[in-house]
Amino acid sequence: MIRSYTGKKTVGGDSKTVQDALVVESPLAIYINGDPITVTMQTPGNEIELAVGLLIAEGIIKRNNPLPQFQLLEKENLLEIHFEIPDFESNSINQRTLLSISSCGICGKTEWSSPSGLPLPPAHLQFSIESCFDLMSKAQPNFEQSGGLHAAALFDDQGKMICCFEDIGRHNAVDKCVGFQYAQLNPKKLGLITVSGRISYEIIAKCFMAKIPVIAAVSAPSSLAVDFAKEWGIQLFAFCRENRFTQYA
C-alpha cells in the first residue's frame, strides 16, 4: 500500500513542490488465547498470512497442523489478530516485550535461541534463478511507484511461482509467503524463495522452519546467515543480479 505525500525537491539549488508515493507502515498486534505476543510494523495487506508465517517461524503453528481459528479486529490505527490455539502456553515461547520493527525480524525478543532439527534434504532444481527474479520483478507494482518496498517470491520445485508479496520489511515479505503457502489446501513441494534485499540470520531461520531448501537474494548475506545455511542444509545464493550470483552454502 502506498500514499501520496507532498515534499520539496531540491536539485542544484533549485526547489519545487512534488507529490511522491510513499510506503505505508502500520502496526499489527498478534494475540494467542487472549495473551499479547507481539506488535510488528508492516505494510497493510495480507495480515493473516504475515501472522501465520511469523508463528510458523516461532514454532507456535506447526506446518502439518490445520490453521487455528482466528479473529481479525480493526481498531484506530491498529489491527489485531486473535488466534485460538488450545495447546499453547504463553510461557512456552520467548515473547517479544518490545515493538518488532519492520527492518528486523527478531527485534524485541528478550533472549535469543536458534531453531533445532535435522538439516533439510538436498534440493535438485532444474530451472534458472534468473528466471525466478524476472517473475518476482514483474510482481512488484508498488515498488515501481515508491521504490520503498522489499519483496519475496516463493516457487515450487518446478520453478512455478506460488506467490509474491511486497512489504516494507524483508522478513515480513518472507512471512507472508510462508503463511500463504501454509493456508493452501494442496501445498506444492517447495523449491526456492527469492528475496529483494540482503539475507541475515532471521530469514535463514524462517526458511528452515518453513522447509524452504533454497534462498536467492539480490544483495549480500551476513556471516551468521551463511553459517546457519550450512548447518541447516539450505542452499544460499546472493548477489543475484546482472546475470551473475555467488553461492555461499
Active site positions, annotated: 104
Q: How far is CA 97 from CA 131, 170, 211, 217, in A?
A: 41, 21, 28, 30
Edge-to-edge, what's the strand order for the sheet holding 190-195? 161-167, 150-156, 190-195, 214-217, 235-241, 244-247
CA within 13 Å, CB half, 78: 10
What is the CA angle 18-24-29, rounded to 5? 160
Q: Are 143 and 166 in contact (CB under 8 A)?
A: yes
Tell me which residue has cell 504463553. Answer: 90
- Segments of the chain assigned E as strands: 2-11, 14-23, 26-32, 35-42, 69-75, 78-84, 150-156, 161-167, 190-195, 214-217, 235-241, 244-247
Q: Do the beta carbons of residue 200 and residue 174 sit within 8 Å?
A: no
Strands (E), 168-213: 190-195
